[in-house]
Structure 1
């Protein structure tokens, strides 16, 4: 399957084998005068924009009733998940509950929020 190409020919065709530049003796440049750079005024800090960030795509909102102790005071826990799977969204919410220190939960709803 020889097409008559050599490795060196292929390298030259692909531009990988650049010809060696002729070696020139190093000439020491004459010292140049240094000019101080102009001082720039500090730019004023921009205030954060009040525009809320937009979500890209649908979101599942998982709502749960949670407590830290059995039969304790219940509170409502809401978790937004970008996952489209209801099961995965519930698992993410459970992980977030455990991280927040809640031990007991009851799933109230999982709804799609656009």
Structure 2
């Protein structure tokens, strides 16, 4: 039974992601003449962007060789599904050339 909603539409409906505001219509600014004794405009440093909505953190114990050195691999996923988050982590493991894994935990992080 498909309702035709995408994951992004469901997130917006649940209030987990805020939609981006529509772009304001472009208007021509009045040209300003530079002043000789004016200081150059300072560019404000932006603060790092916080994640919006829940994040699932997948923790796995991985190794490149069978009975080899085991390391811990952590992957953060924006997906609401634990299954999808685990699949994303497996794809990331394959890109990092890890072959063997054991799922340690999947935890919701705010």
Q: TM-score, normalised by structure 1?
A: 0.58
- Which secondary structure state, in structure 1, belongs to the residue aligned with residue 60 of structure 2? strand
Q: Is the alpha carbon distance of 1:44 and 1:69 closer, same or farther for their aligned partners in structure 2, counting shifts above 3 Å?
A: farther
**Matched residues, number:** 75
- Structure 2: stretches of 5+ with no match in the other structure: 1-32, 35-39
Residues in 1 aligned to 2:98 and 2:64: alpha-carbon distance in whole angstroms? 5
Residues in 2 aligned to 1:109 and 1:53: alpha-carbon distance in whole angstroms? 26
- Structure 1: stretches of 5+ with no match in the other structure: 1-37
| Residue 97 (structure 1) aligned with residue 93 (structure 2) | yes
Instruction: Determine which structure has more spread, i.e. the larger CA radius of gyration.
Output: 1
Runs of 4+ in 1 over 6 A off after TM superposition: none
Once superposed, what is the RMSD of the aligned Cα atoms?
A: 2.2
Q: Is the alpha carbon distance of 1:91 and 1:47 closer, same or farther for their aligned partners in structure 2, counting shifts above 3 Å?
A: same
Residues in 2 aligned to 1:112 and 1:96: alpha-carbon distance in whole angstroms? 19
Q: TM-score, normalised by structure 2?
A: 0.60
Q: Is the alpha carbon distance of 1:96 and 1:48 closer, same or farther for their aligned partners in structure 2, counting shifts above 3 Å?
A: farther
What is the Cα deviation at residue 56 of structure 1? 1.1
Match of 2:108 in 1: 112
| Residue 86 (structure 1) aligned with residue 82 (structure 2) | yes
